Chain A
Amino acid sequence: MKTDLSKRAMRAERAVVTRHELLYGEYRVLQMHVPAVARAVQPGQFVHLEIPGLDDAILRRPFSVFKADDAMLSVLYKPVGKGTRAMTSIRVDDEISLIGPLGHGFPTSHDVAKPVLVAGGYGMAALYLVACALKSSGTIFMGGRSAGDILCVDEFEAIDWDVRIATEDGSRGTRGFVTVALDEYVAGLPDAREVEYFACGPNAMLKAVCDRALANDQKAWLSVDRHMGCGVGACLVCVQRIRDPESRNGDWHWERVCSEGPVFESREIVWDDDE
């Protein structure tokens, strides 16, 4: 495993909640005062939160960092299960135990001719810091079931990103999957190979971006979502199949999404059959 774990910036902190409210549709923003972690965040990293009031559920939950500055860190979430539903009762001034920043995020310091972000669900929040960090702005494709699933449009437009929206029911933007809009855009470019993707969303979306990157000889950085235990590299619950770089016969090994990931380049990933 390539990560030198003892050299990470992560720490465990008590974060004080400074803001917690509905932001878009069912999505809420949870903002916390936690300077030591917030300052160290790189785009695409996540934090592992201990959710108060979870009763007999014993594990923390991972959340991508939406925004971070010298003092505050925020995450965007939607209640989907036990943990995220319990989160809705957190109040301003509550203290939450937080471990972070965790994982290897997106590379952003290199020159990217045509950055293209592809986002679904909380991916729209997870990619915001990527857009801020990239040297030049580009285009973000957002996909969701309906208008209520489209987040953060104002944020991206405020930093001069071209926002393209697709919803399955057509209630906002083009009707259909985000890949339809994406394919049209790429087909209209003089040189499709200039595109570099940064994607975060459901596995089917990541897989679709991966297929296009392979077909068009493009780079694609994909943030994958795996169930986690420890979040810090100890339990080996969160693993992803990764191609052996030198192998010609499809050999692979496991890497930890919480430590070597969550972001991998499309050529590294070996997808499971049901993905």
Chain B
Amino acid sequence: MSEPAPDLRVKLGALELSNPVMVASGTFGYGPEYANLVDIDRLGALVVKGIRMQPTTGNSTPRAVEVASGMINAIGLPGPGVEGFIETYIPFLETHTVPVIVNIWGCTIEEYGEVAARLDQVDRVDALELNVSCPNIKQGSTMFGTHPEMVEQVVRHVRERTRKTIIPKLAPNVADVPRFAQICEGAGADAISLINSVPAMAIDIETRRPMLANTTGGLTGPAIHPIAVKQVWEAAGAVSIPVIGMGGIVSAKEAIEFMIAGATAVAVGTANFSDPTVSLDVIDGIAEYLSRHGMRSVNELIGSIDLRKG
């Protein structure tokens, strides 16, 4: 008789996922964009593009440039606003079963709270990821993500306005990631996610002009993976709430690495652009790995790093 398939279920606060593999905010639209290419209901969760109260236009073009093993983007968080999101995308999402995590942001602490309170009333939304770390918003979010008091206030304020699972998304460009993780846990977060894109810049040497209209942007893709592994490992060691690892996943290998470092779940971002079904391959690859290593549940993998010397 063959071994039963390994148990891939994980929990983020009250939210149970059928498997630990989600798609990262901003790399998968709101769902319909990839629905013709990917069986989205197989995903552990779908994290939609960042939403604030009002519709937002975003940055000028060029908004992205390809660099070695990654890309730098400065999209500028365009979006339909919370009401536009509910009206346009919730009907589509209601025809699917995948857990939905809405990535939210605001220019003030109060705005985070308002968006959270509005989405609290929407049954189809399972959790909120709080983007306090986008490098492309000049006022507001960057400041939030790098100031411990601001992060604490955002999380506390959102906690008061919703009973849904809340997941602050940390900035990678701070000196002390564990401290930020602990602040989030103390302020009532159910989980934390990291890393967001890494502040970056590219210049055209012939014209001596920046490659992006926004001058600077955020680096994503394989180039940031080792940075992310270290930060996930540090964060997971500092808190008892689940950590969601992301940054440069292109196959099951990077996802497994995050989980060994302590991540309960992972998110695939930039790799969706080149291979829309990569997340499904990551799910299958994790299951195959667990079987090969005689693990019955993905929980045996989480935080299983062996730090003995020699």
Contact = CB atoms under 8 A, between A and B. Distances in A.
A and B pair up: yes
Contacts of B70: 58
Interface string B190-222: 000000000000000000000000000000011
A229 B71 contact: yes
B270 interface: yes
A154 B63 CA distance: 39
Interface in B65-88: 65-66, 68-71, 73, 75, 78
B36 A8 contact: yes
A5 interface: yes
B276 A59 contact: no
A5 B58 contact: no
A249 interface: no
Interface stretch (B21-29, B104-112, B286-294): B21-29
Contacts of A12: 37, 276-277
B63 A59 contact: no
Nearest to A83: B66
A96 interface: no
Given A5-B32, A6-B36, A239-B61, A230 B272 contact: yes
A10 B276 CA distance: 12
Interface in A1-16: 4-6, 8, 10-12
B84 to A, nearest CB: 10
A226 B275 CA distance: 20
A50 B275 contact: yes
B37 A59 contact: no
B78 A236 contact: yes
Contacts of B5: none
B36 A10 contact: yes
Nearest to A4: B32
Which among A6, A59, A97, A235 has the greatest number of chain B C-beta atoms within 10 A?
A235
A117 to B, nearest CB: 26
B68 A56 contact: yes
Interface of A: 4-6, 8, 10-12, 50, 56-60, 97, 99, 226-227, 229-237, 239-240, 253-254, 272
Given A5-B32, A6-B35, A10-B36, 9 more contacts: A4-B32, A5-B33, A60-B273, A227-B61, A227-B62, A227-B65, A230-B272, A235-B64, A235-B73
16 contacts: A6-B36, A8-B36, A10-B36, A12-B37, A12-B277, A58-B70, A58-B71, A59-B66, A59-B71, A59-B274, A230-B33, A234-B28, A234-B29, A237-B75, A239-B58, A254-B78
Interface of B: 26-29, 32-37, 49, 57-58, 60-66, 68-71, 73, 75, 78, 92, 221-222, 270-277
